[in-house]
Amino acid sequence: MNSIGDLVENESFSRLSEEEKKQYLEEKKIPYYQKLWNSAFKKQTATEEKDILIDHGFDGITELDNSLPKWWIGLFWFGCIFCAVYLVAFSFTDYAHPDVEYTKEAKTMLASIEEYEKSAPQINLESAKYSADNIAEGQELFKTNCVTCHGDGGKGGIGPNLTDTHWINIKEKSLFKNVFWMLENGSPNNPTMRPFIKEGTITGRDAEKIAAYIYHINQETAPITAAQGGAAPQGEEVKWENGND
């Protein structure tokens, strides 16, 4: 390819006048990067300017037939090639997809949470404590694990109403601890209410959050009555001790 290029260059050179040959050889001596710099920033001489002057004007304004700077042309073609490569990569691979990146980051985050759960001290009946900060997460866990039997908002259904003052199983003196006990051990008289923690369905930390939510709907909000779609009271009325831990 170089020999063909040299042949074409020699043929073109032979057709130049002596003056043009001299000018060509002078330009040939200029380094490539110097030429690139000159094409981008160097202003043409007055003589060169006359050669590229377009033969029309208006109100004293003239126009020059300047070539586009080499850096501009290079940047343009680089942009075109980049867009083509990006379009193909975006269309046929997982590159630069926000949803794919989100999924990867979510998996990484969940893995780190799981690792933390393994190394963090496990929550049990003695260490579980009520926190209002756990109510929102407890509500979501309740929807996943408890709403099938106890209804939306704990109003009751297959299982008893969790918003009233009556309880079937009373194992602890405080409501919060009693709920945690039930989640850990299940109901002694109803196999449907199974021991979620011991079965591994939820962790002690999850149970702490669910217990916080049930405490909230039982002690801090109005009960859902039968007239509002709540289940009728079951068990015996309980006066829980003050405190929730």
The pLDDT of residue 109: 92
Paired tokens of 85: 């490569």
User: Is residue 137 within 8 Å of residue 205, measured between CB atoms?
Assistant: no
Whether 1 has a pLDDT exceeding 60, the answer reads no
Topology adopted by domain 132-237: Cytochrome Bc1 Complex; Chain D, domain 2 (1.10.760)
- The two tokens of residue 169 are 């199983």
Residues 6+ apart with CB under 8 A from 95: 89
Assess whether pLDDT exceeds 80 at residue 36. Answer: no
pLDDT (average), residues 131-156: 95
Identify whether the C-beta of residue 174 lies closer than 8 Å to the C-beta of residue 243. Answer: yes
Model confidence at 2, pLDDT cuts 50, 70, 90, reads low
Question: pLDDT at position 73, please?
Answer: 84
Angle (CA) 158-210-212 rounded to 5° is 120
Confidence label for 228 from pLDDT (cuts 50, 70 and 90): very high
Q: What is the pLDDT of residue 72?
A: 85
Q: What is the C-alpha separation between 225 and 223, in angstroms, rounded? A: 6
Identify the pLDDT of residue 223. Answer: 93
Confidence of residue 208 (pLDDT cuts 50, 70, 90): very high
CA atoms within 13 A on the CB side of 86: 8
Q: Which of 29-33, 47-51, 151-155 has the highest mean pLDDT?
A: 151-155
pLDDT band at residue 185 using 50, 70 and 90 as cut-offs: very high
What does the block give as tokens for 207? 């149970």
- How does the average pLDDT of the chain come out, rounded? 86
